[in-house]
Amino acid sequence: MLDIAEDRPVAAALRAHAITLFPSGTSFSAQEGESVLDAAARAGVLLPHQCKTGSCGACQARVLIGETQLLNPGASALSAEDAAQGLRLLCCTSARSALQLECAEIPHIPGIEVRKLPVRVAALERLASDVIRLQLQPPAGQRLHYAAGQYVDMLLPGNRRRSYSLATPPGADLLELHIRHLPGGLFTDQVFGQLKARDVLRIEGPFGTFGMHSESEAPAILLASGTGFAPIKALVERLIAEGSQRPLSLYWGGRSRQDLYLHELCVQWQQALPGQFHYVPVLSDAPAADGWTGRTGWVHQAVLHDHPDLSAHEVYACGAPPMVDAARRDFAALCGMRPTAFFADAFVAQAS
């Protein structure tokens, strides 16, 4: 049943409304003017999310019954057509009445708590002209506990922060980040121009709900663009360490060959896991002079070509918001992908 009123201006008076999630049946209370995502977190209910700015679409849910208000009119991850179908971004939505929502719920991950830690730079490695692998060493006896796919915030002067996905699986001695240089970037200019081994930084985390939190053995499409490969790397290495037999297809897209900065590692995975792991690199701008003989075009379109039926698959997409949005839309419309089988982490660049 669909019974949705238009989004209304935020009211000054605050009232509490009951929020019920389906299919889990979980309920919690939310105040008017408070995002549903924040209200869920306050109640200890973990819902899918990443950017909290309306840019990634990870917190998308469908309103079955009830009235909502829009907190961030500039949210870009939801089209007018999606909104007309009852979809909302929970980081930008508040309740104006009791709500019933169709929304996935992330099970609690035991032993994981958000912490602030000093970390020492163990190594910096230039993987491409604009990508550095940054390895960080936590203090002795203070290992960060996290799930593959989560991210940490780099704490910077002026109470500012930048978010980076962890590229290493849980239990690794060093934390690995893949940093792409954004000229003028508050943190990336420091990484590419000043940072050196043994420098001390401060991080907070882990954050985010992207990742494989179920025991599903459904075939998985791993879709990455640029440094969106970082959390995908953590997922694959975790599955390899656990001896998983789950079929995996990795599609990694970039503009040029250097954007596939760990191409050889992916080839090694395919060689080590014959019949289980399939790697498809895709370049959108590959001049003939480069000698590239692989796939070309947009990376999500390569998936459309190879997998016309995604009804039995799960998809894990990481990278630029336009790629994530196109994959979410086209996989559902053209390949029968279930909306609840699409998990995403959209990377939103910040310079100043």
- pLDDT per position as a tens digit, 112-152: 788 899 999 999 999 999 999 999 999 998 889 999 999 99
Mean pLDDT throughout 35-59?
Answer: 81
Taking the C-alpha atoms of residue 253 and residue 227, their distance in angstroms, rounded to an integer, is 10
pLDDT digits (tens, 9 = 90+) for 215-239: 788 999 999 999 999 999 999 999 9
Please name the amino acid found at residue 155. L
Domains of the chain: 3-102 (3.10.20.30), 115-207 (2.40.30.10), 220-346 (3.40.50.80)
Looking at residue 6, its pLDDT comes to 42
> What are the tens digits of pLDDT across the range 88-100?
999 999 999 999 9
pTM of the predicted model as reported, rounded to 2 decimal places: 0.77
